[in-house]
Amino acid sequence: MTTPVRPAEPATYADWIARHETTHGSSVFGRCRESVVEMRAAFPELTEVRGHVWCTWGRRGHAWLVDGAGNIVDPTRAQFPGPVEYEPWKPGDTVRVGKCMNCGDDIWAPVQTLDAEPPRQSSCSPECETELMREFA
């Protein structure tokens, strides 16, 4: 896990985020990528970062922005309870690619890019795959 980073939002960023939250309310949940694209259009000096956040819910896929000094500017930070730690994605990191058809657990797999369709898997482990194949045999 990475160390917590304190988001730094200059007044213009904070104003944009406040207006965005007022417009979308609780519907900012799950809209991080869309919100990042909208905010970056308003502030082209910001850079998009994709990865994970750690919050009281655990690890979640997320997108946020950084300014030229590396400060985090997160237009949908309000969706996460408690303190948040940001973990940028790197090629080869694992991402959630689906749910196991046998046990229902999340399936995680390493990927080299976030811009392509992730690998498709039906099971989370060889044991679940064996059980699943028995059901269809």
Are the C-beta atoms of residues 72 and 17 closer than 8 Å to each other? no
What integer is the mean pLDDT of 42-70?
Answer: 90
The tokens describing 84, both together, are: 């948040």
Triad 85, 86, 92: Cα angle to 5°:
130
Same domain, 120 and 61: no
Q: pTM above 0.85?
A: no
Same domain, 79 and 43: yes
What integer is the mean pLDDT of 32-61?
Answer: 90
Q: Which of 88, 106, 121 delimits the end of a domain?
A: 88
Total number of domains constituting the chain: 2
Are the C-beta atoms of residues 29 and 62 closer than 8 Å to each other? no
Same domain, 61 and 105: no
Same domain, 103 and 48: no
Q: How confident is the model at residue 127 (pLDDT cuts 50, 70, 90)?
A: very high
Same domain, 61 and 123: no
pLDDT for 10 equals 53
- Per the domain annotation, does 2 fall within a domain? no
Q: Give the tens place of pLDDT for each residue, 72-115.
A: 999 998 888 888 899 998 888 887 788 899 999 888 888 777 77
pLDDT for 42 equals 92
pLDDT for 66 equals 95
Same domain, 34 and 84: yes
DSSP 23: H
- Per the domain annotation, does 5 fall within a domain? no
Are the C-beta atoms of residues 122 and 132 closer than 8 Å to each other? yes
Percent of the chain at pLDDT above 70? 87
DSSP 123: -
What integer is the mean pLDDT of 55-74?
Answer: 90
Are the C-beta atoms of residues 110 and 92 closer than 8 Å to each other? yes
- Per the domain annotation, does 6 fall within a domain? no
Same domain, 106 and 60: no
Residues β-bridged to residue 95 = 109
**Which among 15, 69, 77, 67 is positioned nearest to 40, based on CA atoms?**
67
| Structural domain boundaries, residue 130 | 94-136
pLDDT for 74 equals 92
- Per the domain annotation, does 1 fall within a domain? no
Same domain, 38 and 64: yes
From first CA to last CA, the distance across the chain in angstroms is: 42
Same domain, 61 and 114: no
Chain centroid to CA 63: how far?
5
Same domain, 100 and 67: no
